[in-house]
Amino acid sequence: MACPVNNTVELNPTLLPLEWLLGTWECDEPGEGSFPTIKPFRYTETLHFSHVGQPVINFMFNAFHAESKKPMHRECGFVRMQPGTNRVAFIIAQNSGLVEIEEGELTGQQLSLQSQQLARTSFAKEPYVKQICRVFQLRSDGKLEQTVSMATDNQPLMQHLRITYRRS
Ligand code: HEM
């Protein structure tokens, strides 16, 4: 869902290096989910990145079961850039009850992020996530790729998700 004022408000200049991320992205084929402790799975996902003229990008990520189409994982939040640098921060709330701050660097059209702060509800199910590493890359074929790796209480850092999207 595009922000209603998105078309009328100019992008804040701080965010120009991230302009390529803005818009709606639909996965072109189901993404692959895995982790040593779970059954491998497939999912679809839509990403929305918008702005309202502030030096902030607003985002929503909605994932669905590849076959049943039922809603699954959801995230929403904000992206900020440190003016004059390539430092980027993602401020994220997840429907699982996890909230996190990821920080990292923009290199060309690749964003590499690492979790700095993680918090969860007092009644979250174990295992707890200990670390998250996420990469967004706009490839030369125009597709956007996202990979997410995580470490939990009982597993070292390993890939959980890989998916590619096309601009819709
Ligand atoms: C399982 C974290 C995104 C689907 C898990 C587990 C954790 C986790 C901690 C349990 C692993 C275990 O039992 O050892 C995260 C984090 C995410 C994320 C931190 C984002 C940063 C997603 C997305 C999907 C997804 C986008 C897409 C549908 C699943 C499924 C399982 C799972 C199907 C296995 C069943 C279950 O335990 O619910 N995830 N996840 N996850 N995740 Fe994710």
In this prediction, residue 37 has a pLDDT band, given cuts at 50, 70 and 90, of very high
- ipTM, 2 dp: 0.98
Q: How many domains does the chain have?
A: 1
Distance between Cα 154 and ligand 1 center (Å): 14
Domain of residue 140: give its range: 13-167
Query: Given the structure tokens 């700095």, which residue do they identify?
Result: 116
Distance between Cα 17 and ligand 1 center (Å): 30
In this prediction, residue 25 has a pLDDT band, given cuts at 50, 70 and 90, of very high
In this prediction, residue 3 has a pLDDT band, given cuts at 50, 70 and 90, of very low
Ligand 1 atom showing the smallest separation from residue 64 Cα: 28
Query: Given the structure tokens 């049943």, which residue do they identify?
Result: 68
Q: Is residue 95 one of the residues assigned to a domain?
A: yes
Q: Which residues contact 125 (CB under 8 A, 6 or more apart)?
A: none
Ligand 1 atom showing the smallest separation from residue 43 Cα: 28
Query: Is the predicted pLDDT of residue 64 greater than 80, yes or no?
Result: yes
Q: Is residue 43 one of the residues assigned to a domain?
A: yes
pLDDT digits (tens, 9 = 90+) for 72-113: 999 999 999 999 999 999 999 999 999 999 999 999 999 999
Q: What is the pLDDT of residue 1?
A: 41
What residue type is assigned to position 90 of the chain? F
Query: Given the structure tokens 């003016």, which residue do they identify?
Result: 83
**Residue from 99, 42, 98, 33 nearest 70 by CA:** 42
Average pLDDT over residues 34-51: 98
Q: Is residue 117 one of the residues assigned to a domain?
A: yes
Q: How far apart are the first and last CA of the chain?
A: 11
> Which protein residue's CA is at the shortest distance from atom 14 of ligand 1?
37
Q: Measuring CA to CA, how many Å separate 44 from each of 28, 61, 69, 151, 166?
A: 9, 11, 8, 23, 12
Q: Is residue 130 one of the residues assigned to a domain?
A: yes
Q: Is residue 2 one of the residues assigned to a domain?
A: no
> Which protein residue's CA is at the shortest distance from atom 10 of ligand 1?
127
Q: Is 102 exposed, middle or buried (0-12, 13-18, 19+ CB in 10 A)?
A: buried
In the structure encoding, which two tokens stand for residue 132, read together? Answer: 């998250």
Kindly report the CATH number assigned to the domain that includes residue 154.
Answer: 2.40.128.20
53: alpha, beta or left? (left if phi > 0; alpha if psi -120 to 50): left
> Which protein residue's CA is at the shortest distance from atom 24 of ligand 1?
73
Q: Is residue 3 one of the residues assigned to a domain?
A: no
Q: Is residue 1 one of the residues assigned to a domain?
A: no
In this prediction, residue 8 has a pLDDT band, given cuts at 50, 70 and 90, of confident
Q: What is the DSSP string of 30-83?
A: -EEE--TTS--EEEEEEEEEE--SSSEEEEEEEEEETTT--EEEEEEEEEEE-T
Q: Measuring CA to CA, how many Å separate 126 from each of 6, 83, 130?
A: 40, 38, 11
Q: Is residue 7 one of the residues assigned to a domain?
A: no
Residues lining ligand 1, Cβ inside 6 A? 33, 35, 37-38, 41, 43, 63, 72-73, 98, 127, 129, 132, 148, 150, 152, 160-161
